[in-house]
Each structure stands twice: as C-alpha cells, then as structure tokens.
C-alpha cells in the first residue's frame, strides 16, 4: 500500500493576482491625530483582527463669558 503524507496547519493567505500575502504585524489600535494622517502599512498583508480607531479626546469647560469652551484633542495631538 502506498503512503500519503498530509500536512495540516495554517497557510499564508493567497489573493488573486497578488500571490502569497504576509501577515501584518503592526499596531491594531490607533488614535487619530488632528491635522495629521495616521497610516497603518496594511496593504497586501493578511490581518488577524480588527483595527480599533480610538476617539479624539474632547473636554468641555465653562468659560468666563458664561458659555462652554470645547477643546478638541489634547497635549501632543496636533
């Protein structure tokens, strides 16, 4: 009787016209910056999870004129 060798396991993803796609190993969480793009280098990579885009922080404070001052972003965010 002839023997058959079978290998079971995960294989790299293959996309039509692209070939074997490497796994993305970068960040899966990002907070957008004000006035500046944030790019994750995911093109032509297989991803193992969802990307989480965090909220841009905002604060509201009463001001001297009796209104509300809204601050968008924070220290180091634009």
**SS3 label, residue 77:** coil
* Residue 51: C-alpha distances to residues 8, 40, 42 (Å): 29, 9, 10
Q: Which tens digits make up the pLDDT trace of 51-71?
A: 999 988 889 999 999 999 999
**Structure confidence at residue 37 (pLDDT):** 86
**Structure confidence at residue 28 (pLDDT):** 94
Residue 38 sits at φ, ψ, to 5 deg, of: -115, 120
For residues 19-42, give the mean pLDDT: 87
Checking if the pLDDT of 9 tops 60, the result is no
């Amino acid at each position: 009787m002839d023997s058959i060798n079978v290998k079971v396991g995960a294989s790299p993803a293959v996309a039509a016209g692209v070939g074997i796609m490497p796994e993305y190993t970068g960040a899966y969480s990002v907070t957008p910056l004000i006035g500046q793009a944030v790019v994750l280098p995911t093109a032509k990579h297989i991803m193992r999870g969802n990307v989480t885009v965090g909220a841009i922080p905002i604060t509201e404070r009463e001001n001297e004129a009796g209104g509300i001052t809204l601050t968008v972003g924070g220290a180091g965010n634009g």
